[in-house]
Amino acid sequence: MKRLALVLALLLVAPTAYADDPPPWMPSAPPPPTRGDEAQLRKLKREATAFGTIGLVLAAGGIAVMVVALDVPQSERVTMALDGTRTTTRELGDANWAELAGGVALTVTGLALGGVALLKAKQARKLSSP
């Protein structure tokens, strides 16, 4: 077993021991990061954090608005019974549907800002990787 492990280790390490120069068609290594890159990296991270936080707050607020819109009826309906008594019942009306549309808009805006935050974080990760 030790011989097999030694042979496998040699097979894995041997090709890299005397490696030739890379072929001319192969792209060169990226330049080392500079101060400008570090400043850009910090800026991208701050932007990603800001967009993510605002997006999360808007999405949560939109979901809360939608829950309230569907749970709390804002319209009244008056019905009259055969004996002349009037009964007022609360039901979902146009105000609820408008509130629901506002909640959907808030949620979609929050999710879009979350997507922008993910893109900014991806850009920062690409900039920081060698």
Please write the tens of the pLDDT for every residue from 24-64.
Answer: 888 877 777 677 778 888 899 999 999 999 999 999 999 99
In angstroms, the CA 103 to CA 71 distance is 13
Q: What is the pLDDT of residue 54?
A: 96
pLDDT for 9: 81
Question: Is residue 126 very low, low, confident or very high in pLDDT (cuts 50, 70, 90)?
Answer: confident
List phi, psi (to 5°) of 75.
Answer: -115, 155
pLDDT tens sequence across 64-107? 999 999 888 888 888 888 888 888 888 888 888 999 999 999 99
Which pLDDT value is given to residue 112? 96
**pLDDT value of position 15:** 66
Alpha helix positions (H), 1-93: 2-17, 35-71
Please determine, for residue 16, whether its predicted confidence score (pLDDT) is greater than 70. Answer: no
Strand partners, 90: 76
- Res 59: pLDDT: 96
Question: How many CB atoms sit inside 10 A of residue 126's CB?
Answer: 10
Residue 12, CA atoms < 13 Å, CB-side half-sphere: 6
CB 52 within 8 A of CB 117: yes
